[in-house]
Amino acid sequence: MAALITPAELAEALAGEHPPVLLDVRWRLGGPPGRAEYERGHLPGAVFVDLDTELAAPPGPNGRHPLPDPDALQSTLRRAGVRSDRPVVIYDTADGSVAARAWWLLRWVGHDAVSVLDGGYTAWVAEGRPVTTDEPRPEPGDLTVRPGTLPVVDADGAADLARAGVLLDARAPERYRGDVEPVDPRAGHVPGARNAPFSEHVDGTGRWRSPEELRERFAALGVGRDGPVGAYCGSGVTACSVLLALEVAGLSTPERPAVLYAGSWSHWSADPTRPAATGDQPG
């Protein structure tokens, strides 16, 4: 199943004999909560899943959005109707930067038929496709969560990756440079990391750039088909957008998957003994 699905392709799939499970994961840093948007309108059949409370463990020593407890994640996914024999399509407001977190988590626990809606809710509505305020009550799913299908590194692993491979920082350039830090304890970036803002994966409408465009972008950052590559961001959410972009570009494969530093800068910066680089260069 392709990592991205267009609104037209999704509409066709929903009309088929075995429609995909739909997850609405709209969320904004600093709020308001995504559930309010969901209640005002969502794709028919979509179940809302909350990033802060269901796609992450409580904030703490492991960062602002640590990976969720596997048992809790299994309960969440089964509540949403996720089954091992049905594909899943996930959407957020537009650019896929939040939907990618759910996409990555499902892949991480062993479900490989997962796609992100290209352009999200905004693209669906722009094409005049139906929305509803009715909340579905799906039959409970049967997915068994088996973490570990995709690789994760800790702070030491991220530092090693920055030295021996390519570590991509998904945050906005001003946070990467250390000009500002509105959320985490310190400003800057992991020494050796290269800035790959998640906002550049899409065009001005929130639709994803072509595989060719993404490959060119990553090549300019030193990413090729050989050698390890991974990503981090502020808290491990938008880094998954980088991982999705790498897959779309053909640079992350089952044989050589890209790596997630799940704790990301919120974890790295909390330890004052870890160095922080500033400025435009990896450092």
For residues 79 and 212, give the distance between their C-alpha atoms in angstroms, rounded to a whole number: 38
Taking a C-beta distance cutoff of 8 angstroms, is the pair 240, 149 a contact?
no
For residues 274 and 206, give the distance between their C-alpha atoms in angstroms, rounded to a whole number: 35
For residues 122 and 134, give the distance between their C-alpha atoms in angstroms, rounded to a whole number: 19
CB atoms closer than 10 angstroms to residue 132 = 12
Residue 233 annotated in active site? yes
Residues sharing a CB contact under 8 Å with residue 227, sequence separation 6 or more, in sequence order: 165, 166
Catalytic residue among 43, 102, 158, 233: 233
Which of 283, 256, 266, 195 minimizes the C-alpha distance to 231? 195
Name the burial class of residue 38, with classes exposed (0-12), middle (13-18) and buried (19+) by CB atoms within 10 angstroms of its CB.
buried
Q: Which residue has the tokens 């440079």?
A: 177
Question: Widest CA span of the chain, in angstroms?
Answer: 56
Catalogue the active-site residues: 233
